[in-house]
Amino acid sequence: MTTAKKVLLTKRPEGEPVESDFEVVEAEMPELNDGEVLLKVEHLSIDAFIRTTLDGPQGLHGTMDVDTPVMALGIGRVLDSRSDELNQGDAVFGPMGAQTHVIWPANMLRKVDESEVPARTYLGALGMTTGLTAYAGMICCGEVKEGDTVVVSGAAGAVGTVACQLAKIAGARVIGIAGGDEKCKFLTDDIGCDAAADYKAGDLNEKLKELCPDGINVFFDNVGGDVLDAALDNIAKEARVVICGAISQYNDMENVTGPRLYLRIPERNARMIGFTVDHYAELFPKMEAEISGWIKEGKMQLPEHVMDGIENFPGAIIALMTGGHMGKLLVTP
């Protein structure tokens, strides 16, 4: 009999999540039914959408029930199978949840190819919520091209670091927005940004004017709020403003603060587009092939911040919301 550890949501957060909103419990796994597989969860992807699911019905990405394992995508390894589709030892991607083991129907899972990249790459550079999201936003929506000036907010996070690198591959000049000297140095030294703007150090609007004297052609936004307004005040004519996320708003979804300077959009004949990656599902094979190629060529990387132990899952969510990481945040149960 297999025993699983699970992180349950015990009460909905009031503002920023805290450790006491969660509880780690143990439970014995039931016997497998036909068509099911037992998985050992190897890596969990810590994504901003998780925070929105902790709220009530107003959750942007749906909601989860209290006293159930927290939603999370992940990579699992098949320990036992009652399915002809998956065998013991296969690595799979799917909705693992915050737990060490899970049983799912095999047809809910995707077997991943480990021949050239580690399985966890399908949570990072090849991940739907990370690399594929950055591709959909920067290339499909932002239509980035050579010579553009591109600004990315939340640039030191997982999606942000990939978005910056995609813009560089396209031949753009890239400025990343992040909080603190360490993250700004990470963006210029490790990720390859041409410059970085510290939103915690003085007037971001003035900093963007200095760094983008001819205006911003593509703004890829992961933050919202005042950061979005600062960028809107600096967009060039016919700019593309891409709304990927708004992590500054997720702790109070009942009182979302919209952009005050949205009239810069018509003034400068620009456009603003929001997206979620699932709308581009038909392009996933193309995205994966291109990103894989860039990884092999050494044009793209995705640094990882790994926290070990399922008991650290709540702390990882808090770190994500407070900016306490760089690159892709993962939990190894």
| Same domain membership, residue 78 and residue 21 | yes
Report the predicted TM-score, pTM, of the whole model to 2 decimal places.
0.93
Residues 262 and 150 in one domain: yes
CATH at 268: 3.40.50.720
Hey, is 183 helix, strand or coil? helix
| Confidence category of residue 254, pLDDT binned at 50, 70, 90 | confident
DSSP state of 32: P
Residue 129 near residue 45, CB atoms below 8 Å: yes
User: What is the structure's pLDDT at 106?
Assistant: 98
Instruction: Name the amino acid, one letter, at 245.
Output: G
Q: Mean pLDDT of all residues in the chain?
A: 95
Of 83, 84, 138, 81, residue with least CA distance to 273: 138
pLDDT digits (tens, 9 = 90+) for 283-305: 999 999 999 999 999 999 989 99
At 29, which CATH number? 3.90.180.10
Give pLDDT, residue 143: 98
Within-domain flag for 252 = yes
> How many folded domains does the chain comprise?
2
Instruction: Write out the residue range of the structural domain in which residue 101 sits.
Output: 3-124+302-332
In this structure, are residues 261 and 226 in contact, taking their beta carbons and an 8 Å threshold? Answer: no
Residues β-bridged to residue 293: none
Do 140 and 260 sit in the same domain of this protein? yes
Q: Are residues 65 and 110 in the same domain?
A: yes
* Model confidence pLDDT, tens digit, residues 159-203: 999 999 999 999 999 999 999 999 999 999 999 999 999 999 999
Residue with structure tokens 């690198």?
A: 165
